[in-house]
């Protein structure tokens, strides 16, 4: 075998090895980014969950005979905090919270004193801000997952993904029926 042939083989092995190494590392970095983005989504949902007891308590003082709705909010919050086995379960639990909060805010329309209460107004403003943060965090998560999934699906990086079991990630999608959820307006 000629010396030039050996060098060509060595160069090819180095190039292929280098490509595999950098592609593997980019999958690891992207995967960490997906995990980080999902943690940000969970953080915003936790922020919302932390606001709920104060909101329920404030409403309870004015709307004592609305106990069923208050109980639904507390129950939905408990389910959401319990999490889910996968993203779809988590999304469904969070959608229940959104629906229950929509009912709770709608109750406030029937109680002028509650609507004028400073604590309630502050909690409403915090909830609105939190809902905006949730939307931003979900969008960021989906953007990171899109990049990761594209890398998993495109050639030749899809070969490395298959060799090292890098699997596509689930996008954050609205739960079925979410388009029919009550609209929460502040």
The per-residue DSSP string of 69-90 comes to HHHHHHHHHHHHHH--SSHHHH
What mean pLDDT do residues 156-168 have? Answer: 93
Q: Bigger pLDDT: 115 or 15?
A: 15
Closest CA to 166 of 154, 148, 146: 148
What mean pLDDT do residues 55-59 have? Answer: 82
- Residue 166 pLDDT level (bands cut at 50, 70, 90): very high
What mean pLDDT do residues 11-37 have? Answer: 93
Distance between CA atoms of residues 157 and 80, nearest Å: 36
By the 10 Å C-beta count (0-12 exposed, 13-18 middle, 19+ buried), 52 is classed as buried
pLDDT computed for residue 65 by the predictor: 67
What mean pLDDT do residues 104-114 have? Answer: 79
Helix (H, G, I), strand (E, B) or coil at 180: helix
């Amino acid at each position: 075998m000629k010396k030039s042939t050996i060098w060509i083989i060595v160069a090819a092995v180095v190039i292929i090895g280098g490509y595999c190494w950098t592609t593997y590392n980019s999958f690891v970095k992207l995967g960490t980014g997906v995990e980080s983005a999902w943690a940000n989504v969970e953080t915003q949902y936790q922020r919302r969950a932390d606001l709920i007891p104060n909101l329920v308590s404030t409403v309870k003082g004015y709307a004592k005979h609305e106990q069923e709705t208050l109980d639904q909010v507390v129950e939905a919050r408990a389910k959401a905090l319990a999490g889910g086995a996968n993203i779809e379960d988590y999304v469904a639990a969070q959608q229940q919270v959104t629906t229950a909060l929509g009912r709770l805010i709608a109750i406030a329309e029937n109680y002028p004193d509650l609507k004028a209460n400073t604590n309630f107004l502050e909690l409403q403003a915090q909830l609105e801000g939190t809902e905006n943060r949730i939307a931003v965090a979900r969008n960021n998560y989906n953007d990171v997952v899109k990049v990761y999934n594209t890398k998993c699906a495109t050639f030749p990086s899809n070969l490395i993904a298959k060799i090292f079991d890098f699997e596509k990630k689930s996008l954050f999608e609205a739960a079925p029926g979410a388009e029919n959820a009550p609209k929460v307006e502040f």
